[in-house]
Structure formats: structure tokens, C-alpha cells
Amino acid sequence: MRNVSPLPGLTCPRLTRVAAVLALLVAASPVFAAPLVATDPPKDVAAAPAKPLPAWEQLTPAQREQLIAPVRERWNGQPEERQRMLDRAERWQQMTPDQRKQARHGMKRWEHMSPEQREQMRALYAKMRGMDETQRAALKAQFRAMTPEQRRAWVQANPAPPGEDGPPSR
């Protein structure tokens, strides 16, 4: 049987990459991480086990569209970011479940950092990029031992290159 793309102009590998981007963006999107209504469930409902959500194939077309729409908007609204989105989706697909868990944990930590902490982490990760494991461990220990004023001074002396928006993935 021939592999035929359901969309004209897209080959199956290209369609697979687009689907991977969509899956990654939906998984990482804060829109889908938080409930739509911020209400506490009744106490008797909280004790009941959560009903498993359906597989993608079991979703209605309306539910699928609801999940895909934000990704489509981002894809169409930021054409200069498309290659980056595809690259991230490909990396995500190559990760093990444990690596994905670590990445989600890192994303949550990053989201909860202050702008100053993020700037410090950008500088720290940029500095560690060319180091081996022992050098990294020594720099991390040194950085943790610094006072807030010492960290600010260190960041001014070791700024992150412009354009970096977060810690690099390994």
C-alpha cells in the first residue's frame, strides 16, 4: 500500500514532523496545563479516581480542533519560529520518558523563576556550555555559595549571549 499524505504538498515524513510539533506544543502549552475553570471540586468527587481521558482517535472533531487551534495560531502567527518549533518537536520525540519528565520539571522551574533568576540561569548555562562535568559541578557549587549581590556582579561580568530565552536542552 502506498503512503499517501492526506494533505497535498506534504510528504508523510513532513506530515509526521508537523504532527510531532503539534503534539509537543499542545503538551507544553500552559493553556492545556491549567483547568479552564478554577473551582474546587466537591470533596466526594476529589476522592473518586479520575476518569481516563480518551485517546486522540476517540476525540470528536470539535475536541481535536479545540486542541489544535492554539498551535495553528502560533504556527501561523510566528512564521520565523516554525523551524525552531519543528526542531523542538523532533527532539521531544527522541527523548526517553524519563528525559521528558525531567524536561517538564525544568520547564515548570523556569516558569516559576523571577526575571532576575532567569537572567542568572541564562548566564550560568551559557558559561557552563563548554565545560566538562567536573567543571560544571564546581561552578554550580560556587554559584550556590554566592550572596545575591555576588550573583548580580557575576552575571554582569559573565552575561548570556543575546537571544537566549532559557536553559539549553542537553
Residues 120 and 158: beta-carbon distance below 8 Å: no
- pLDDT tens digit at each of 170 positions of the chain: 444 444 444 444 554 555 555 555 555 544 444 444 445 555 555 555 688 899 999 999 999 999 999 999 999 999 999 999 999 999 999 999 999 999 999 999 999 999 999 999 999 999 999 899 999 999 999 999 999 999 999 999 999 888 655 554 44
**Helix extents (H) in the chain:** 12-28, 30-33, 43-47, 61-77, 82-94, 97-111, 115-128, 133-145, 148-157
Q: Which three cell numbers stand for residue 17?
A: 514532523
Domain layout of the chain by residue ranges: 1-37+59-94, 101-170
The dihedrals phi and psi of 151, each to the nearest 5 degrees, come to: -65, -45
Answer yes or no: pTM beyond 0.85.
Answer: no
Supply the Cα-derived Rg of the chain in whole angstroms: 21
In a 10 Å sphere around its CB, with 0-12 CB exposed, 13-18 middle and 19+ buried, how is residue 120 labelled?
A: buried
